[in-house]
Structure 1
Amino acid sequence: MPPITLAAIYRTLAAHFGPPHEWWPIFGDDPAFEQILGAVLVQQTRWEAVEQAILRLQQAGLLAPAALARADAEQVALLLRPVAFYRQKAPGSIAISAYLCERYGGDAHALLAQQPTADLRRELLALPRIGNETADVILLYAGGHAVFVVDDYTRRLMGRVNPAPAFNWEKAKYDYVRDHIERELAPLVEAGSAAITLYADYHALINEQCVRYCTATRPRCDGPPARRVYSLQEGRNSYLDRHDGCPLRDVCAWYQARGAEAHSAQRKI
């Protein structure tokens, strides 16, 4: 069986989970800053915990660059708890806010409007608590820059489905994986798909697939999918509208390699 293409994986996931919809929950009046902050806080953390932390910052009057830049790190850390590494993310968030105030007058949009994208990415990477994945999340979702986000879900799913057998999805360097995906998706962009919309939707679908079916342990290849509520906001709490098995199992190299006996045992779990 020839390996499936990245474009075919996208079409399969989109057919299963449905058309794209705007997801990122926004609670304050500065979406760009809130998305920058959320991208930092969500590192190694479930979104549900991030959402609660953002709401606590809002209630404390700290969901704005000027206010957060002047805040006490210990106070912010307590508001962020139980976000992972909250004691490190608190001073990092304060420093990012201070940078926005000093360099851009507290205007996150002014930062994100910088061109070219490569220069803005380097600027983001120079800030505390921002690595490759976080920078690209900010670029794509908050800034509207056409960059594909590579996260652990991406590496897990592609490593199992194996659309490029000679490619080491788990160990390849971040930029190498991102550039490979963007090259492979170029025909879809050339055929009329807006790159920003395509990348955001594909990233969301990969995350949904890995939360529902392609879990780190005991994958639910034959269903039912895991259930999870993401957000307090109506319409953004779930992508799930199907209750059958993984839409990629028929083309998944990992699934095929395990064989019928293993899948039969899995269904009994």
Structure 2
Amino acid sequence: MQPGTPSDSMTSWQHRVSPLDVYRRLVSHFGVLYGPEAHQPWWPIISSNPQLEIVIGAVLVQQTRWETVEGAIERLYRAGLIDLHALAQATVADVAELIYPCAFYRQKAAGLIALARAISERYGDVAAMLRRPTAMLRRELLTLPRIGPETADVIMLYAGDHPLFVVDAYTRRIFARLVPDEIAWDRASYHQVQHIIAAALPSDPRLLADFHAQLNELAVRYCLSRPRCDGPPARRVYSRQPGRNSFLDRHDGCPLRSVCTWYQGHRQLS
């Protein structure tokens, strides 16, 4: 089912905050984070090969902070390895040295090389791969090294404009606090979480990409493991890109407080 398709799951959002309302509240607070209207690109690109750079970043960011990934990508770029054929011919030792200290850097180095070889052999280049139909491409991506459901959807959405809602740990944490009785957010499958949220959203890749960015911004500023509901937001600067400190002077609280079940419950207890 595509995002925005009417389904029985949409009725479960009645009388409570819907995913689309969450998105609108976040945009009102943070502004647009992804797309031509964004003040700064949420996914900073440094090379002339953005699609491959996104593929590489999507693999490297697994269990790794973005600021570490960004440094690794800069080193790969300087080494001429944001290039499919160069990466396919690189050695594991060389790539591992460049991407350290990313988590599982040796495994990721081997995976990136195998991934580059597979893309080159199957499709010729990343652009040709991303032109495949959505359902077909997703199945094919899941057979490639280092690619699971979240990574596949990140690649398809941000590199190929396929309309997919990306689920990550931040998504589960935020919605578990907003609507804890909707499903067992921590135990539900990736597909279950994706379906229940995506079914209530339009099938618009730009909106879906921005929504994922908004949720990530909320999670690193307010909805941390120890929430900062009433502010001030966390001051983490997770990219070296100029302008990334634009949120550091904010002192207001989380924009979802008024619709958050967790916050309302804890406020009543205090």
Q: Give, in whole Å, the separation in 1 of the partners of 2:129 and 2:86.
A: 18
Q: Give, in whole Å, the separation in 1 of the partners of 2:161 and 2:112.
A: 21
Bigger drift between 169-178 and 135-144 goes to: 169-178
Q: What residue identity is the alignment partner of 1:86?
A: Y
Is 2:232–2:250's contact at 8 Å kept on the other side of the alignment?
no
Q: Give, in whole Å, the separation in 2 of the partners of 1:176 and 1:25.
A: 30
Could you say which residue in structure 2 is the equivalent of 1:90?
Answer: 109
Relative distance call for 1:150 and 1:131 in structure 2 (3 A) is same
Of 244, 247, 250, which residue of structure 1 is paired with 2:255?
247
Q: What residue identity is the alignment partner of 2:162?
A: H
Could you say which residue in structure 2 is the equivalent of 1:207?
Answer: 216
Could you say which residue in structure 1 is the equivalent of 2:31?
Answer: 18
Is 1:23–1:236's contact at 8 Å kept on the other side of the alignment?
no
**Residue segments in structure 1 that go unaligned for 5+ positions in a row:** 263-269
Higher relative contact order (CA 8 A, sep 6+): 2
Could you say which residue in structure 2 is the equivalent of 1:5?
Answer: 18
Is 1:228–1:238's contact at 8 Å kept on the other side of the alignment?
no
**Which string of whole-angstrom CA distances, capped at 9 and with x for unpartnered residues, describes residues 133-188 of structure 1?**
000000100011000000000000000011x7231222111111111111111xxx
Could you say which residue in structure 2 is the equivalent of 1:112?
Answer: 130
Could you say which residue in structure 1 is the equivalent of 2:235?
Answer: 227
Could you say which residue in structure 2 is the equivalent of 1:122?
Answer: 139
Bigger drift between 55-64 and 76-85 goes to: 55-64
Relative distance call for 1:238 and 1:88 in structure 2 (3 A) is farther
Q: Give, in whole Å, the separation in 2 of the partners of 1:243 and 1:221.
A: 11
Question: Superposition pairs for residues 142-153 of structure 1, below 5 Å?
Answer: 142-153=159-170
Is 1:33–1:65's contact at 8 Å kept on the other side of the alignment?
yes
Q: Give, in whole Å, the separation in 2 of the partners of 1:26 and 1:74.
A: 25
CA shift, 1:237, in A, is 5.9
Percent of residue pairs identical? 56
Structure with more helix by fraction: 1
Q: CA RMSD in A?
A: 1.9
SS in structure 2 opposite 1:184?
coil
SS in structure 2 opposite 1:10?
helix
CA shift, 1:261, in A, is 5.9
Could you say which residue in structure 2 is the equivalent of 1:257?
Answer: 265
Is 1:92–1:128's contact at 8 Å kept on the other side of the alignment?
yes
Relative distance call for 1:79 and 1:228 in structure 2 (3 A) is same
**Residue segments in structure 2 that go unaligned for 5+ positions in a row:** 1-14
Return the TM-score normalized by structure 1.
0.88
Could you say which residue in structure 2 is the equivalent of 1:99?
Answer: 118
Is 1:148–1:182's contact at 8 Å kept on the other side of the alignment?
yes
Of 39, 44, 49, which residue of structure 2 is paired with 1:30?
49
Relative distance call for 1:136 and 1:79 in structure 2 (3 A) is same
